[in-house]
Amino acid sequence: MPGQESGQERGQAAFDWGDYLEALIGERGSLTLVAQHLAERRAFAEDAASVERGLRRLRGRGNKDGGVWGQRLLRCFGLPGAVADRVRWMGQYHTRFTDLPASLAEELLQPWDRPPISESPARIWVLLGRASLALRRRQDARAILEQATLLAAQAEVAARIELALVQAFTWERVDRAVADEALDQAGALFEEDSPETDLREDDRACLFARWIDQHAYRLNKPTVGEPDHHGAIALYRRIPEDGPLFARCRRENGLGWARLRLGEGEQARAHALAGVEAAGDAGSLRMRAMALNLLAAC
């Protein structure tokens, strides 16, 4: 899984402009070829030799501002796939990054909130990781989410849905109207999903399960009126039984609690056991603890 390799160890060096250029050179074959491609993409507004000189200067800037050449490189090539996967992993609630101790998660996030990552749209994932960490520590994440919102228009669909779900969770007990708007926005983004978008199948399934869970929570524990456990069950059944392990855990845990509140103890226990099994297969301590809590209540 991204983020669990040896490069994600404590005290890692930050990914810098030199690393970025080395990755591009690995893909293209040489710095000269990287410069040639960039010059072509810019319709030779500068000759290839001038571009190469600019890239050589950029190579030595470490984690400083990349300036014009840094922005041009990022617009032309984007981030290397492995780097994009790493920061995405740290920003998604449904990955095992959220299982890490808060202090370690903070330590791992810090090196990535620097150029070139912080000058790319992928910074939204670092901000989402920081927001999730703040919520785990019972801190106010709204200022971080405001920063993430500024990057949303340039971000991939998965990041925009993640942002909307975290916003909805953050505002749920503060301003229900804002939370409603965020959940509606996430739902609209699912509707926009198509084979042409960059939303991966597993990510879509996990994000959808979380969206369902946030809606169903309101039915199980309404702020006003009577609970609608049958309505919550109908929602949780929309999560496929054969999806990713995280989504299956969400489905089984949600169905189990709703059944338990309806007095259907045996069915609740069956869902709890299925949730424990899925969480164990996923290796998620967080999801396993949630499933075991349900099992203990049955």
CATH number at residue 225: 1.25.40
Q: How far is CA 155 from CA 4, 109, 126, 208, 225, in A?
A: 24, 19, 12, 18, 38
Does residue 90 sit within a domain? no
Does residue 123 sit within a domain? no
Does residue 108 sit within a domain? no
pLDDT tens digits for 137-150?
999 999 999 999 99
When comparing pLDDT for 63 and 191, which is higher?
63
Does residue 212 sit within a domain? yes
The count of structural domains within the chain is 2
Does residue 105 sit within a domain? no
User: Per the omega criterion (within 30 degrees of 0), is the bond before 115 cis?
Assistant: no
pLDDT tens digits for 12-41?
568 999 999 999 999 999 999 999 999 999
Does residue 167 sit within a domain? no
> Of 29, 47, 80, which one is at a domain's C-terminal end?
80
The mean-pLDDT minimum among 52-66, 87-101, 161-175, 194-208 falls in 194-208
> Of 80, 108, 130, which one is at a domain's C-terminal end?
80
Task: With cut-offs at 50, 70 and 90, classify the pLDDT of residue 177.
Answer: very high
Is the model's pLDDT at 220 over the cut of 80?
Answer: yes
Does residue 284 sit within a domain? yes
> Of 22, 55, 80, which one is at a domain's C-terminal end?
80
What's the rounded mean pLDDT across residues 105-126?
Answer: 97
Residue 214 belongs to domain spanning:
200-298
What pLDDT shows up at residue 9? 42
What pLDDT shows up at residue 192? 78
Does residue 21 sit within a domain? yes
